Amino acid sequence: EADIYQTPRYLVIGTGKKITLECSQTMGHDKMYWYQQDPGMELHLIHYSYGVNSTEKGDLSSESTVSRIRTEHFPLTLESARPSHTSQYLCASSRLAPYNEQFFGPGTRLTVL
């Protein structure tokens, strides 16, 4: 079944650790996105990609980085986690024209101690 997956679902980690949040989709979508969302709050776009080897920063400044080596995979990396990175991270991908509506993964809830 075509879907979008995120792992881990929950992560508690100490300050200074390097972490990678995984996102994979089996829908063949070329566009993928990472959002940061505090509980019950609005979404902030932090990274997006319109295809392999193409990545851009979003509206919200983030210390994370992303890569897009394969169409289906769009991991997000934090080189040195800090308590200010505590949040929920949502991955999404979008389908073809005209609507390009986004489909979301279940999210990763990150807590940095």
Partner 1 sequence: AQTVTQSQPEMSVQEAETVTLSCTYDTSENNYYLFWYKQPPSRQMILVIRQEAYKQQNATENRFSVNFQKAAKSFSLKISDSQLGDTAMYFCAFRVDSNYQLIWGAGTKLIIKP
Contacting residues toward partner 1, per CB under 8 A? 31, 33, 40-43, 45, 48, 50, 58, 90, 92, 94, 98-107
Select 14 or 39, whichever has its Cβ closest to partner 1: 39
Q: Residue 109's Cα: distance from chain center in Å?
A: 11
Q: Could you give the CA distance from residue 28 to residue 95 in angstroms, rounded to a whole number?
A: 8
Q: Could you give the CA distance from residue 96 to residue 105 in angstroms, rounded to a whole number?
A: 18
**Residue 70: CB atoms within 10 Å:** 9
Token code pair at residue 113:
């101690």
Closest separation between CB of residue 90 and partner 1, Å? Answer: 7
Select 41 or 80, whichever has its Cβ closest to partner 1: 41
Closest separation between CB of residue 106 and partner 1, Å? Answer: 5
Asked if residues 18 and 81 have their Cβ atoms less than 8 Å apart, the reply is: yes
Select 12 or 18, whichever has its Cβ closest to partner 1: 12
Closest separation between CB of residue 79 and partner 1, Å? Answer: 25
